[in-house]
Amino acid sequence: MKLFRYLPILDWGSRYNRTTLTNDGVAAVIVTIMLIPQSLAYAMLAGLPPEIGLYASILPLIAYAIFGTSRTLAVGPVAVVSLMTLTAASAIAAPGSADFIAAALVLALLSGLFLLLMGILKLGFLANLLSHPVVSGFITASGIIIATSQLKSILGIEASGATMPDLISSIGKTIGTVNIPTLIIGVLATAFLFWVRKGLQPLLVRLGLPSRPAELLAKAGPIIAVAVSTIATIMLGLEAKGVKVVGDIPQSLPPLTVPLMDFDLWQELAIPALLITIIGFVESVSVGQTLAAKRRQRIDPDQELIGLGTANISAAFSGGYPVTGGFARSVVNFDAGAETPAAGAFTAIGIAVAALFLTPLLASLPIATLAATIIVAVLSLVDLKTPRTIWRYSKADFAAMAATIGITLLAGVEPGVIAGVGLSLALFLWRSSRPHAAIVGRVPETEHFRNIKRHKVFTDPRILTIRIDESLTYLNARWLEEFILEQVAEQEEVRHVILMCSAVNTIDASALESLEAINHRLEDGGILLYLSEVKGPVMDRLKRSYFLDELSGKIFLSQNKAFSQLIQTADAEEAAQEPVDRHLARGMI
Amino acid sequence: MKLFRYLPILDWGSRYNRTTLTNDGVAAVIVTIMLIPQSLAYAMLAGLPPEIGLYASILPLIAYAIFGTSRTLAVGPVAVVSLMTLTAASAIAAPGSADFIAAALVLALLSGLFLLLMGILKLGFLANLLSHPVVSGFITASGIIIATSQLKSILGIEASGATMPDLISSIGKTIGTVNIPTLIIGVLATAFLFWVRKGLQPLLVRLGLPSRPAELLAKAGPIIAVAVSTIATIMLGLEAKGVKVVGDIPQSLPPLTVPLMDFDLWQELAIPALLITIIGFVESVSVGQTLAAKRRQRIDPDQELIGLGTANISAAFSGGYPVTGGFARSVVNFDAGAETPAAGAFTAIGIAVAALFLTPLLASLPIATLAATIIVAVLSLVDLKTPRTIWRYSKADFAAMAATIGITLLAGVEPGVIAGVGLSLALFLWRSSRPHAAIVGRVPETEHFRNIKRHKVFTDPRILTIRIDESLTYLNARWLEEFILEQVAEQEEVRHVILMCSAVNTIDASALESLEAINHRLEDGGILLYLSEVKGPVMDRLKRSYFLDELSGKIFLSQNKAFSQLIQTADAEEAAQEPVDRHLARGMI
């Protein structure tokens, strides 16, 4: 059973049959057709030679097919990780240089090792540190940067930069050198691909094709753009007119590469590799979970880390660069009917065949066409609806998202992710340190207790009930002391304080110390402290402390019992005191 | 009113009278007698000339008297902050050198600026990041390091180090050079001071003194040790026999000093200064709050930051080093009857008089006596009871405490604090990411719903009620999706899922997205989702999202209503379906 857990292939592989084979095969063909131009384009985006995109789409897919748990995730080069690779490796060497390629290999290796380690230590929960608004903001900002960076290839100019200010000033400086044939190809390809996305499927349906095949056929749009623009470039001799093309791609299977064992370099790339790891993992798991749920399957996040880890390590040893599960391709794979990870392995075979035999056909492919592919793909990542929804729902979450977008656009992907994580965390800690609490009273003729500010309720000036709406931890322990003592200071008649703990799920050692302090301070002022509605696990733990021995009052199972009984106690106290008071008033004592 | 908030002196100063003056004066005399040897000793511990301890006990006390909110806090040099100063400044220059003294001034300035900034921005809550077990562990470990470091002065050897391994190996190497007269003074002084602590007060009481004066007189023990050992050193000519003495101390008021405006140095000292700031603030606020509560007074943590900030800035400009509110002296000040911060100002005058006139008397004071003072003071900080209590109560808190103690002892104070903060945070986030949740059922003949694992309750196989015992945030959003889908996958008959939200205090944007995803996935499987017992503020916010429009089921005010009504719904559904099923069974359709 343990082997099954670490090698999911043993599970689905044992039930593999002819139908699954056919379905996986069909899906693989469609994904391969989509992946050929994408892998070239994303390698280019990462500042790497095009064949590296192909190499990153062979062995990593096979590794994921063996170790991954998603049935339909399509692993390989993706836009955001390619941009992050460009940024990280640019700090080491000039894009395209041998040192740059070596740095990309090291990034794949480190990222693979991090993933594997996190998987073995079951640290998948670390991905939680990225909140949805932060991830959404980061992807949107990355999409904008990527689309802008590709404008240079559409315009046929030299420009570079990894942040919006750099990109815009760089494009501004070189805009005078626009190459008109390149611009025409670029604009036509972009327009065609946008139309394919929106208009081709409806057209095919109107022409009589069923909806599903029409949708899949429309996904082949990029390959049509590739073919047409390549033929046009050759026929019209556009290369001589300054249109940049992909050029010669070696015809070979992936080479065996050994990443540099240069530990200074490793140290320099460790943080970027960690960020690539986390962003890649979060993106991949989100896609994987969404698709698995549609077929009532499940993925195992910890095993996913192992699957993606081995994929990246194989990328490092086969001339690739960091990979992860991509959104668009996975959806196509799913829609095309892929049933098992074998579809990924078949895709790998398809790409291997392409790398061996089809690369000569791609030599005259204009780079502007690849840029168009990227622009159309990443603009679908730019999400302008979510910020509006989040603004309405939570200003704090919106602030984290806006900061992530702003910092990513202005300072780049790495500061963007770090700021996003930092801000989410800071907001969370700030909120946790000032929780909600309410003074409650009894709703007449019920046993319910509600906030005195929101409901008409019955209270007694001698009894103060405070409902704490949060677990008590070291972050809010000091707040708790201040809040309770302040409430008591304001209400002089109070003799009994009840803490209603219905929403308290844990009390840590710091909070326990604060409760002890509160108990003693109230006792010094002649006020007794009670708890009500304490949950089972919390009570079990309190029994292991000295708090229950020291508590001046007692613990009530229900708030209603606490309130009713303390009213009687307070009445009895007053009755006992009254004669004395009366004597005092008459000067008799 | 705003001026009163920032200048608490205006408040208590306006009600100052002869009685308060007398009480404050008496307390100031006692604290001054205690502070003279302490300030010399702590300066020595910090690697600074003894007069710097006196200077740090003059202006800072006056600044705190103006801006501080605690009536009885005694500000000045303290043991733990002195150790942290030694560690931080040692990274810049050799202890005692001019550069070292300059670094100590910069530390005081930076720490003052940090405190002031945090006060103005009301960031006092940042101190919450240190949990009680971490602070307690840190103080205990620091106490052990300080006591060990003072052994060298008791033994009359040269030894140094800021971690236990360094200290022990350093003492081991030089143990052969022990100076016997020094050792005799050191051991006698230590024994005497321990006896003063435990035995003098009972003795004085037996001799007929009332308990309170006896207690205060016992606090003068150190000054007796100082006087006797100084006289012995002079009379027996011990200095010639190798007993190290304090030596000449300049007879002067604090000099005006301007901290170096060397920004590289500032940058180097920024992190240590921040740690000194936080530790100093936490220590000071804890003492201040404890003492204030005893007299039903309150302190304002944000204003405390301003008070301590101005104290440290004045230390920087008057030849001092970082100061904060000390535990032992504050308690003495309180017990001696101090009523207002004026007692602190009077103490400052006492120390100024000492700096001007008494320093010649201290020239022959053996350093071993000061070391004995420090050892006896810090060993009272070493708390071996708390670890045991915490172990019983919470293994996680104990782990954070043990790690803080271990890392502080082995690697020093800075790694110790950082590890403590990091661990507390990691534990908190880890716990937050896997909250408690329970499947609940109705307790027979009540409207209460309880955990099916802990109580005998009534459930319906078609209705699954999950009580979530935590606020829903981005940290547990993914867990929530996994948990609910897993529960549903295990129970095939379920048609209605109720999330009981009585312990849910917030739902952030990430968790809202997860709820939407859960809703859609359940709906795909023909299961409806309901919420019950949603709190007012949470509901207000949900109304601003699209979730309520998309929710497949509805929101019930009470869990009891939800359960009762869904049983009826499920019965009705079955009744509607039954005839069809029966027909099917008979092959009639």
Q: Which residues of chain B does A454 touch, with a Cβ-Cβ cutoff of 8 Å?
A: 536
What's the pLDDT score for residue B252? 86
Provide the b/e sequence for B323-346 (b: ≥16 CB within 10 Å).
Answer: bbbbbbbbbbbbbbbbbbbbbbbb
- Whether the pLDDT of residue A219 is over 80: the answer is no
| Count of A-B CB contacts under 8 Å | 162
Average pLDDT of span B426-435: 82
- Whether the pLDDT of residue A586 is over 70: the answer is no
Whether residue A503 lies within 8 A of chain B, CB to CB, comes out as yes
The span from the CA of B307 to the CA of B212, in Å, is 30
Q: Which residues of chain A does B473 touch, with a Cβ-Cβ cutoff of 8 Å?
A: 428
Query: Cα A506 vs. chain centroid, distance in angstroms?
Result: 28
- Whether the pLDDT of residue A390 is over 60: the answer is yes
Q: What does the block give as tokens for A90?
A: 């640019």
Q: Which residues of chain B does A133 touch, with a Cβ-Cβ cutoff of 8 Å?
A: 509-510
- Nearest-Cα distance to chain B for A543, in Å, is 9
What's the pLDDT score for residue B425? 85
- Nearest-Cα distance to chain B for A429, in Å, is 9
Cβ atoms A251, A356 nearer than 8 A: yes
Cβ atoms B151, B186 nearer than 8 A: no
The answer to whether A475 contacts B541, with C-beta atoms less than 8 Å apart, is: no
**Tokens 């009213």, residue located:** A567
Q: What does the block give as tokens for A172?
A: 């501004």
Residues 6+ apart with CB under 8 A from B264: none
Please name which of B73, B137, B453, B96 lies closest in space to residue B301, comparing C-alpha atoms: B73
Burial of B319 (0-12, 13-18, 19+ CB in 10 A): buried
Please name which of A168, A17, A6, A145 lies closest in space to residue A86, comparing C-alpha atoms: A145
Average pLDDT of span B502-528: 88
Rounded to the nearest integer, the mean pLDDT of chain B is 88
Beta strands in B62-215 (DSSP E): 74-76
- Nearest-Cα distance to chain B for A67, in Å, is 21
A536, closest residue in chain B (CA to CA) = B454
What's the pLDDT score for residue B169? 92
Please provide the distance, in angstroms rounded to a whole number, between the alpha carbons at the two ends of chain A: 84
The span from the CA of A307 to the CA of A63, in Å, is 7
The span from the CA of B143 to the CA of B301, in Å, is 26
pTM across the whole model: 0.75
Among the ranges given (A425-439, A494-508, A573-587, B376-390), the one the predictor scored with the smallest mean pLDDT:
A573-587
Whether residue A429 lies within 8 A of chain B, CB to CB, comes out as yes
Nearest to B510 among A132, A290, A398 (CB): A132
- Whether the pLDDT of residue A205 is over 90: the answer is no
**Tokens 């399957």, residue located:** A297
Selected residues 456-495 of chain B with any CB under 8 Å from a CB in chain A: 469-471, 473-479, 481, 485-486, 489
What's the pLDDT score for residue A296? 67
What's the pLDDT score for residue A421? 84
The span from the CA of A197 to the CA of A215, in Å, is 9
What's the pLDDT score for residue B587? 46
Please name which of A459, A339, A378, A444 lies closest in space to residue A24, comparing C-alpha atoms: A339
Cβ atoms B254, B355 nearer than 8 A: yes
Q: Which residues of chain B does A487 touch, with a Cβ-Cβ cutoff of 8 Å?
A: none
What's the pLDDT score for residue A49? 94
Burial of B552 (0-12, 13-18, 19+ CB in 10 A): middle
Beta strands in A210-320 (DSSP E): none
Cβ atoms B153, B210 nearer than 8 A: no
The span from the CA of B7 to the CA of B11, in Å, is 8
Tens-place pLDDT, residues A2-46: 677 778 888 888 888 888 898 899 889 888 988 998 899 999 999
Q: What does the block give as tokens for B146?
A: 């300080």
Tens-place pLDDT, residues B183-221: 999 999 999 988 888 888 888 888 888 877 787 777 778
Whether residue A390 lies within 8 A of chain B, CB to CB, comes out as yes
What's the pLDDT score for residue B251? 87
- Nearest-Cα distance to chain A for B215, in Å, is 23
Whether residue A24 lies within 8 A of chain B, CB to CB, comes out as no
Cβ atoms B304, B97 nearer than 8 A: no
| ipTM associated with this complex | 0.76
What's the pLDDT score for residue B488? 87
- Whether the pLDDT of residue A462 is over 80: the answer is yes
Pairing of strands A496-500, A463-468: parallel
Average pLDDT of span A112-139: 87
What's the pLDDT score for residue B386? 87
The model's confidence at residue A467, banded by pLDDT at 50, 70 and 90, is very high
Whether residue B544 lies within 8 A of chain A, CB to CB, comes out as yes
Whether residue B131 lies within 8 A of chain A, CB to CB, comes out as yes
The model's confidence at residue B420, banded by pLDDT at 50, 70 and 90, is confident
Q: Which residues of chain B does A422 touch, with a Cβ-Cβ cutoff of 8 Å?
A: none
The span from the CA of B441 to the CA of B448, in Å, is 8
Residues of chain B with pLDDT > 70, as a percent, come to: 97
- Whether the pLDDT of residue A345 is over 50: the answer is yes
Torsion of CA B60, B62, B66, B70, to 10 degrees: 70
What's the pLDDT score for residue B311? 97
Q: Which residues of chain B does A543 touch, with a Cβ-Cβ cutoff of 8 Å?
A: none
Average pLDDT of span A483-498: 88
* Higher-confidence position of A579 and B281: B281
- Nearest-Cα distance to chain A for B236, in Å, is 52
Q: Which residues of chain B does A546 touch, with a Cβ-Cβ cutoff of 8 Å?
A: 389
- Nearest-Cα distance to chain B for A223, in Å, is 34
B454, closest residue in chain A (CA to CA) = A536
Whether residue A91 lies within 8 A of chain B, CB to CB, comes out as no
Average pLDDT of span A104-119: 95
Q: What does the block give as tokens for B458?
A: 């009534």
Q: Which site among B285, B482, B508, B545 would you substitute to test the A interface, given the most A Cβ atoms closer than 10 Å to its Cβ?
A: B508
Cβ atoms A373, A154 nearer than 8 A: no
The model's confidence at residue B586, banded by pLDDT at 50, 70 and 90, is very low
The model's confidence at residue A581, banded by pLDDT at 50, 70 and 90, is low
The answer to whether B131 contacts A544, with C-beta atoms less than 8 Å apart, is: no
The answer to whether B485 contacts A298, with C-beta atoms less than 8 Å apart, is: yes
Cβ atoms B42, B357 nearer than 8 A: no
Helix, strand, coil percentages in chain B from 3-state DSSP, rounded to 5: 65, 5, 25
Average pLDDT of span A294-318: 88
The model's confidence at residue A579, banded by pLDDT at 50, 70 and 90, is low
The answer to whether A128 contacts B517, with C-beta atoms less than 8 Å apart, is: no
Average pLDDT of span B25-30: 89
A125, closest residue in chain B (CA to CA) = B433
Please name which of B365, B291, B316, B385 lies closest in space to residue B68, comparing C-alpha atoms: B291
3-state secondary structure of A417: helix
The answer to whether A541 contacts B477, with C-beta atoms less than 8 Å apart, is: no
What's the pLDDT score for residue A405? 94
Tens-place pLDDT, residues A42-96: 999 999 999 999 999 999 999 999 999 898 999 999 999 999 999 999 999 999 8
What's the pLDDT score for residue B350? 94
